[in-house]
Amino acid sequence: MKAYRTSRVIMRLRAPLISGLLLLATACGAPEQGVPEMNDQERQTVEAYTETQAPVCIGRFQVDMPSQLKLSFSSLTVNEAKISATPNSRQMFRRFIDKRKAELEAMHTVDAGDQPFLKRIIQVSDDMVIIDRNESPHKPDAARLLEGYKFEGLTMFSVKLTAIDVDDEKYREQRKLRQSNKSERQKQVEYLLNHLSPRKAGEIPERPGLCFEHGFLADGADQAIPGAAVPTRKEQIGMRFSDNKNRDVYIHFYTDSAIAEEDTLLDRTDQAERALANDQNFSVLRKGEVDLDGIDQAEEWLSAGTTDENVKGNYFNLEANSRKGSPGTPYIDISLRNGQFAHGEDPPAIDKASLTDAEAVGLWDVITRTFKPRPGAF
């Protein structure tokens, strides 16, 4: 089974849901290979990574990342609002807003009764705009999308959030089933925009908030967001760091304050190992509890197996706070791939993974053991 599928097996298998593949798998489970001892060349490879490690900020956490691994993906969602930041000049920001307005004014709905597509532009300030538009040409105009934009410190911030507006008389009957929330969602968008600020790469803030690419969202983990559907904060952040020399090596971080599982990673591994036993390259290198600074209930599962590139590679996974996910103790998932290209890339053909098993474990250890809550982050 391929490494990408391996991750899905570990994440999705639950005791009541045993797949047909699992039932057909051998009962003996996975071979326990153990982590091979490094030779001198492998030690030099890992040392080359560690020599350039420096702290990077991931949401409310930080980790020491080798400079060879560059940020290649970042996403942030807070109470359903999608947030991003892009380096920009003031002139480019104004041009973007003008262009976006023209694009939306030119759009048409399938049903003429839902026109205009662009409903309103709210100029909050010289550097902040909220656009009220139809969510889709194919949906009734009760379904809205609020696009908020802000310029600060050579950075353009974007906050996008869906809303409902049934105030028009044509939706009179629908009001018995659902209420408008657009004014509340507009408060949420404006609140989030006001709490966003630029952040330089490598900057580690020492105040409450979330780091994401080019930006920082200031607020405590227990701070309610005005206008949000629920008072509890729901924060999801993902960041991927890809090896700029070995493109088939990358590590992905994901935290989610709204996930609380009934089981843990190690509760699911026995089933996964039986399901993967037919892969001739599959073996478990290491699994067990992990001691991380300031984080409870951390577990890891390190395996070798056949990847999507049809080579022997690695899939490593670490989960923490899986049973206690909350705004103050978010669920944590860290995964490393070796011999596997990130989705969305146009990969070249390879005949082997860039790292050996020992090198992959060495790289994993020097990164994951530095993962910890950022001082003052919560």
The continuous run of DSSP H or E covering 337 comes out as: strand 331-338
pLDDT band at 32 (very low <50, low <70, confident <90, very high): low
Q: How far apart are CA 89 and CA 93, in angstroms?
A: 6
Per-residue model confidence as pLDDT tens digits over 148-161 = 999 999 999 999 99
For 99, the domain range is 89-179
Residues 358 and 221 both lie in one domain: yes
SS3 labels along 177-203: CCCCCHHHHHHHHHHHHHCEEECCCCC
Residues 169 and 36 both lie in one domain: no
Q: What is the mean pLDDT of the chain?
A: 91
Domain presence at residue 162: yes
Q: Where are the beta strands (DSSP E) in 107-172?
A: 118-125, 128-134, 143-152, 155-164
Domain presence at residue 205: no
- CATH number reported for the structural domain that contains residue 17 in this entry: 3.40.1000.10
Residues 230 and 354 both lie in one domain: yes
Asked if the model's pLDDT at residue 128 lies above 50, the reply is yes
Asked whether 317 and 301 are in contact (CB, 8 A), the reply is yes
Domain presence at residue 193: no
Residues 119 and 66 both lie in one domain: no
pLDDT band at 31 (very low <50, low <70, confident <90, very high): low
Q: Which of 265-274, 298-307, 358-367 has the lowest mean pLDDT?
A: 265-274
Listed residues 159, 179, 199: the one ending a domain: 179
64 exposure class (CB count in 10 Å sphere: 0-12, 13-18, 19+) = middle
Domain presence at residue 94: yes
Residues 270 and 165 both lie in one domain: no
| Structure-token pair, residue 92 | 């480019």
Hey, what amino acid is at 320? A
Residues 235 and 315 both lie in one domain: yes
Domain presence at residue 207: no
Q: How far apart are CA 201 and CA 198, in angstroms?
A: 10
Separation of first and last alpha carbons in the chain: 40
Q: Position of tokens 């657009």?
A: 182
Domain presence at residue 298: yes
Asked if the model's pLDDT at residue 5 lies above 80, the reply is no
Per-residue model confidence as pLDDT tens digits over 166-202 = 999 999 999 999 999 999 999 999 999 999 999 998 9
Residues 8 and 140 both lie in one domain: no
Residues 6+ apart with CB under 8 A from 268: 10, 13, 14
Q: How far apart are CA 104 and CA 117, in angstroms?
A: 7
pLDDT confidence of residue 296: 85
What's the chain's length in residues? 378
Residues 67 and 130 both lie in one domain: no
Q: How far apart are CA 123 and CA 127, in angstroms?
A: 8
Domain presence at residue 186: no
Residues 368 and 249 both lie in one domain: yes
Residues 39 and 61 both lie in one domain: yes
pLDDT confidence of residue 138: 97
Domain presence at residue 211: no
Residues 272 and 220 both lie in one domain: yes
Asked whether 74 and 66 are in contact (CB, 8 A), the reply is no
Q: Is the peptide bond before 55 cis (omega within 30 degrees of 0)?
A: no
Percentage of the chain modeled with pLDDT above 70: 92
Listed residues 157, 179, 201: the one ending a domain: 179
CA-closest candidate to residue 150, choices 212, 99, 90, 211: 90
Q: Which of 103-107, 155-159, 339-343 has the lowest mean pLDDT?
A: 339-343
- Segment 234-243 shows an average pLDDT of 98
As for how many domains the chain has, the answer is: 2
Residues 224 and 352 both lie in one domain: yes
Q: What is the phi-psi region of residue 259: left when phi exceeds 0, alpha when psi lies from -120 to 50, beta otherwise?
A: beta
Per-residue model confidence as pLDDT tens digits over 66-100 = 999 999 999 999 999 999 999 999 999 999 999 99
Listed residues 121, 156, 179: the one ending a domain: 179
Residues 6+ apart with CB under 8 A from 15: 263, 267, 271
